[in-house]
Amino acid sequence: MKAGAVELGHASKVTQRGVNRGMSILDLFLRIIAIIATLGSAIAMGTTNETLPFFTQFVRFRAKYSDLPTFTFFVVANAIVSAYLVLSLGMSIFHIMRSRAQARLLMYTIFWEVAMMALLTAGASASAAIVYLAHKGNTKTNWFPICQQYDSFCHRTSGSLVGSFIGIIFFILLVLLSALALSRR
């Protein structure tokens, strides 16, 4: 009877270890997708560049992402976040190998995850505000919609926001996963 209970305890421990490892693998998987999303966003925005086919003697109409400081911030924020994610892969692999997560490490992870999410959200929403302005303009402030001229520029910058917003969703999931690992200890 006692041996059975011990065996049962052992079996449940093995199951729990399996679930922990599964969560760690999911964590690694989420991180890899988030890297692709944020790095893709940074590259898509960073290579945006449109030269209009017409020009005057003195002026060549050219739009680059760096003409708008907000877009530069977007590229920097996405680059920092993807660099953080690449570095955090090591920690994720460490968690897969050691099935029992350490509380202190998880606390650090949650802090950095939340901070990086804030940075990513800041870059994405600031750029979204500018992209919206470029599309719609604003009559009250006399800011004209530049998308009428720079069509491809606008498409490219709008598209590059998508990866960043996907990244934000993945960060929320990563924080929850770390919190779940903390609660299962």
> How many residues bind to a second copy according to rule CB under 8 A?
44
Residue 56 makes contact with a second copy by CB under 8 A: no
Q: Is 26 helix (H, G, I), strand (E, B) or coil?
A: helix
Is the dihedral angle over the CA atoms 88, 89, 93, 96 positive or is it negative?
Answer: positive
Rounded to an integer, what distance in angstroms lies between the CA atom of residue 60 and that of residue 54?
8
Give the strand pairing for 49-55 and 60-64. antiparallel
Residue 175 makes contact with a second copy by CB under 8 A: yes
Where in 136-165 is the site for a second copy (CB under 8 A)?
138, 140-144, 146
Residue 132 makes contact with a second copy by CB under 8 A: yes
Binding string, residues 105-124; x marks residues near a second copy by CB under 8 A? -xx--xx--xx-xx--xxxx
Q: Both tokens of residue 96?
A: 């897969």
Residue 26 makes contact with a second copy by CB under 8 A: no
Where in 61-80 is the site for a second copy (CB under 8 A)?
63, 67-70
Residue 32 makes contact with a second copy by CB under 8 A: no
Q: Both tokens of residue 163?
A: 């990866």
